[in-house]
Amino acid sequence: MARLTRKPLWRGAVGLLAGLYFLVPVAASVIFTVDVPGQGFTLDAYSGILSADGFTDSLLLTLELAAATIVLVMVLLVPALVAVRLGAPRLRPLLEIICSLPLVVPSVALVSGYSSVLRWGPEHLSRTPLFQTFTAVQDKRFPFVLVLAYTVMALPLAYRALDSGLRAVDVRVLVEAARSCGASAPRAVLQVVLPNLRGALLNASFLTLALVLGEYTVGALLGYQPFAVWIVNTGGNQAQLSVAVSVLSLVVTWMLLLVFAALGRPRDRSRSLSRSSRRAGRDAAAPAPIAQEVA
């Protein structure tokens, strides 16, 4: 019995090695930022982050790009996944293959394709209204072309998160139950299906946010300066400041991960049941709206 309950030692060894693998580089980075040869311990690298040239602009630009990317990914993927679940389950493998394609295409190849299209457009469409579109998506203040590129790159991550959430619930039963109560199809999806996918939506949003915060290749090769590009450019003449910003962004990413995990945690069942009971009681006391709508 004691042999069955005893935990294998290899689990602890694997956990220790994994912890060292992740923590040793972070600890070395923190030591590099606070230990200045000849001065000793100092926090100048962290105190000078907010006043560094380009920090606020690049961070705000990246957060705006991340918000737009999350919205575009959700608008594209959620209706497609729900529609495939409800109306065409045989198309799910095809949708999975399409969403997984960015994994096998290098970022450099994607940037090469975007650059070719952006050069071809103004040359051949200069006398059409589409010329203004090509100009607008390359605006330095908000380069929407980066949103399009990040959306393509985030599709595999967001698809996995949303698909796992949809596998955990029976979408067809939920929609049919809502439709039997008088709800329209869009209302059934918005008020019944999406609340049950809260954890999957948060996970997909967090993965997309983490990708945009750390993406360097597309922004650098297209000539823009989001947060990751600014960190690399700053590291050329202010190495400690660059590493300090990287450590701070890592801490912020971990905090966001904890916040998303807390928001996606299932609510207390007893509290949900009591709330549902109170809501059901109010619905029973009130006039039946569904019967009125049907009539």
Coil vs helix vs strand at 288: coil
How many other C-beta atoms can be found within 10 angstroms of the C-beta atom of residue 226?
Answer: 27
Banded model confidence at residue 129, pLDDT cuts 50, 70, 90: confident
- The pLDDT tens digits for 199-246 are 899 889 989 998 998 889 899 998 898 988 988 888 777 788 888 888
DSSP 3-state of 223 = coil
How far apart CA 178 and CA 176 sit, in angstroms, is 5
Are residues 55 and 230 in contact, defined by beta-carbon separation less than 8 angstroms? yes
pLDDT reading at 133 higher than 50: yes
Residue-wise DSSP of 18-63: HHHHHHHHHHHHHHHHHEETTTEE--HHHHTSTTSTTHHHHHHHHH
Q: Taking a C-beta distance cutoff of 8 angstroms, is the pair 43, 34 a contact?
A: yes
Is residue 85's pLDDT more than 70?
A: yes
| Residue among 135, 131, 283, 153 nearest 218 (CA) | 153
Would you state the pLDDT for residue 286? 45
DSSP state of 266: P
Q: Which of 157, 133, 186, 145 is nearest to 74 (CA)?
A: 157
pLDDT digits (tens, 9 = 90+) for 240-270: 888 888 888 888 888 877 887 777 666 654 4
**Mean pLDDT lowest for which of 56-65, 95-104, 170-179, 249-258?**
249-258
